[in-house]
Structure 1
Amino acid sequence: MKQVSKSLLPLLIIGSLFFFMGCGNDTATTDNSNAEPSVEEATDSTVEVQSITTEKLQEKIDDDQWIIVDTRINDAYNGWALEGVTRGGHIKGAVDFSANWIRFEVENQDQLLQEALKEKGITPDKNVVLYDANGEDAALVADYLMQQGIENLYTYDVKEWAMNEELPMESYPNHHLLVPASWVHELIENDNNGNPYKIFEVSWGEISEDYLNGHIPGAVHINTDDVEEGPIWNRLSDEALETFAENYGITIDTTVVLYGSDSTAAFRVATILKYMGAEDVRVLNGGFAAWENSGYDIELEDREKEPVESFGATVPVNKDYIIDLPEAKTILADQEGSKLVDIRSWDEYIGTTSGYSYIEGKGRPAGAVWGYDLDVYRNMDNTMRNPSEIKSMWYEWGITPEQNLSFFCGTGWRAAEVLIYAEVMGLENISLFDGGWNEWQDDSNNPIELGEPN
């Protein structure tokens, strides 16, 4: 029977436990009673390590005794040209271990960081090159690694590598869909160069406590009830979605930035807007915490919606971006070229629980493959996980990028986030099965499987 790969169990643990808590005085404390040094201890000192030249790095980049580590924020790794770097993305072959994972405390942080080091192959027997663009990130990670007994360390300024067009760098084709806080700040500062834009905090309910406690300046709250309805919680009718857009002042050519304290709601609305035909939809990578921890201003003013007369197109423009039950069954019938990918927990997938208080049925659509729960798609700061690691998870279940992939979960929120990540990676034949498990189990004629697959 198909089991969870032992090599991925630590990742599942990491993904399930990581919870971003910020860096203020109210953050969790670390138990210092064990023999391992704490993150706090690791960051109290400054470690000086030798730098490496571009020429030397070129010689060692394919040497399996050397590992290249990008210590910058996730956005830079994905493809954004930040902090004076002339080319966005990362040195080809580099793994990511962001300094932010050390800066911002989380529960069980020491243990989880050490698990991450093992998964990425950052071990004491390797020569480790840590690179950044600001002279701070690599030093912080070097300090932490020295405390973990990893001493063969070198630092490098990636700006030098980026200036030489002949040296290989990798960025993800649609990294622009996930934006750093700095990009949102610049959007506000330059008023999007006079072009229309909107910023929305997205969560369920008419009143959002998160929004009222402070939000990005100019942001308006979106209630997810304005784009979906029960009991299945599918998207609203196309006509109703046009009305939603008009009420919130969204046109087909409006730049739309979505975020939340929990990003799943933002991704849910993002997929619906893209289905509708909105041409420039972005999600703040890492959610509101990314904005707060960048030190940007927040406001308390309750901003009102500013309606427009017309969305500017007949919905849906991108009809195949979201599919329904008949299309999901067609995908299941094509087991070689297509996959219906379940983005729920293992217990939901095998039918131990439905995962929802209002969903009675347990199990999975017969023939659906497990794509792992959402938690393992996120880094500890709730940014997008390294796509190479995502693909490795998929390969365990026969999921490959060239297939026709449709992602689903219970009601479309978790799967929406993975759909956007897949698009960031450059996958093309992808969609969201909107009704997901809730719609499938609602009809007793739909075949269901329970237990671990053979």
Structure 2
Amino acid sequence: MGSLLRQDLLPGRRLPTRRPSVSPETATVYELRSLSASAHLVLRLSWAQTRPYSADAPAGVADVSDHLIEPRALAEILGSTEVCDIRWRINDPGYGRRSYEAGHIPGAIRVDLDDDLSAPPGPGRHPLPTPARFAATLGRLGLMPTSNVVVYDDVSGRVAARMWWMLRSIGHDSVRVLNGGFRAWEEAGLPVSIEDSAPQPAVYPTPDRFEGVVGIDDLDDRTVVDVREAERYQGLAEPVDPIPGHIPGAINLPSGLSLKDGVFKSIDELDAIYGQLDSPVMSCGSGVVACHSALAMAVAGRPIPDVYIGSYSEWSRSGRPVAAGDQP
């Protein structure tokens, strides 16, 4: 692999930063705008359990070891961690492959949102695969219940969080999102590889179900949080789904509120955004970015919320009422 890195790894030598050949700013992406070193047995904990604070962490700083990992911390454990590259663009199915081939974190396995983390569209654009199919995918990727997993993308976790949420949902708690994604990795001067990683197939037991999933008929009397951009929520723009607007009664907290300069805000800042929500259901366009806001709540020390996987892509095709404007 060493010959394929952009620069030989020498002690104390900083690698130059290079942007991917396809810049995320060049595409119109409405859907996305706005561990230890040794493996350990993954115990199936309760779905809502989090460990948000560290005894030695400064006040107001997240102990993100359960949910996020910083680039240099990941670099120290690459040899004992399964890294998944989930870069993706709506309406550009080849983007993930091109980005991966242009350069990725050494040893990272490419994961496709559409093929690996979703069933074929209907209802909604990104329904969940069956538990059996997801288990087969995890095995093909070389993952086992004891695997330490880190996932990343190039949009501050908005896509990678889908795999984080799905693994958490089946009880695989040893999974984290790279804070700041591939940009942060490159900006830290860390090595980038063009080697195509071929995982060793494994057997992943089929889980009983995905926990924390809410269907279209389960939204009554629930606080639905629409994490899409304000203009889509208000019905001023809708580039993907058939009817502009939002689910009646849903409140709008765009996913970008949780970020500052491409990384997650502090616990105090996140708690100010999400702390008043009582057992919310996260919704977005197709059940992807909603997982990012679920991650933000977990980083803030809140229970991982339920996700309406069908989200607005299902609702807007169901014939049910649609609201518009800036009010629920």
- TM range, smaller chain: 0.7 to 0.9
TM-superposed deviation, 1:448: 2.2
TM-superposed deviation, 1:347: 1.5
Q: Equivalent residue for 2:245?
A: 363
TM-superposed deviation, 1:246: 1.3
Equivalent position SS for 2:150: strand
Normalising by structure 2, we get a TM-score of: 0.75
Q: Equivalent residue for 1:347?
A: 231
* Cα separation, 1, equivalents of 2:100 and 2:229: 29
* Cα separation, 1, equivalents of 2:299 and 2:273: 17
Q: Equivalent residue for 1:19?
A: none
Where in structure 1 do 4 or more consecutive aligned residues deviate above 4 Å? 23-26
TM-superposed deviation, 1:79: 6.6
Q: Equivalent residue for 2:288?
A: 413
Contact 2:294 2:304 in 1 (8 A): no
* Aligned: 1:255 with 2:148: yes
* Cα separation, 2, equivalents of 1:339 and 1:25: 43
* Cα separation, 1, equivalents of 2:164 and 2:18: 34
* Cα separation, 1, equivalents of 2:191 and 2:63: 31
Quick one: structure 1 residues 313 and 24, their matched pair in 2 at CA, closer, same or farther if it must change by over 3 Å?
A: closer
CA shift digits 1:70-120 (9 cap, x unpaired): xxxxxxxx978xxxxxx6433x3xxxxxxxxxxxxxxxxxxxxxxxxxxxx
Quick one: structure 1 residues 450 and 25, their matched pair in 2 at CA, closer, same or farther if it must change by over 3 Å?
A: closer
TM-superposed deviation, 1:174: 5.0
* Cα separation, 2, equivalents of 1:367 and 1:387: 27
1:385 to 265, 287, 294: 265
Q: Which stretches in structure 1 are left out of the alignment for 5+ residues?
A: 1-22, 27-77, 81-86, 93-169
Q: Equivalent residue for 2:69?
A: 179
Quick one: structure 1 residues 171 and 211, their matched pair in 2 at CA, closer, same or farther if it must change by over 3 Å?
A: same
Q: Equivalent residue for 1:400?
A: 276
* Cα separation, 1, equivalents of 2:82 and 2:17: 29
Q: Which stretches in structure 2 are left out of the alignment for 5+ residues?
A: 1-15, 20-51
* Aligned: 1:319 with 2:203: no
* Cα separation, 2, equivalents of 1:294 and 1:24: 8
Question: What does residue range 9-88 of structure 1 map to in structure 2 within 5 Å?
Answer: 88=56
User: Higher relative CO (CA 8 A, sep ≥ 6), structure 1 or 2?
Assistant: 2
Equivalent position SS for 2:159: helix
* Cα separation, 2, equivalents of 1:451 and 1:179: 38
* Aligned: 1:210 with 2:120: no
- The amino acid that maps onto 1:418 is S
Equivalent position SS for 2:185: helix
* Aligned: 1:443 with 2:318: yes
* Cα separation, 2, equivalents of 1:272 and 1:429: 12
Equivalent position SS for 1:274: helix
The answer to which structure has the higher helix fraction is: 1
Q: How many residues align?
A: 271
Contact 1:180 1:285 in 2 (8 A): yes
* Cα separation, 2, equivalents of 1:387 and 1:235: 30
* Cα separation, 2, equivalents of 1:249 and 1:198: 8
TM-superposed deviation, 1:237: 1.6
TM-superposed deviation, 1:259: 0.8
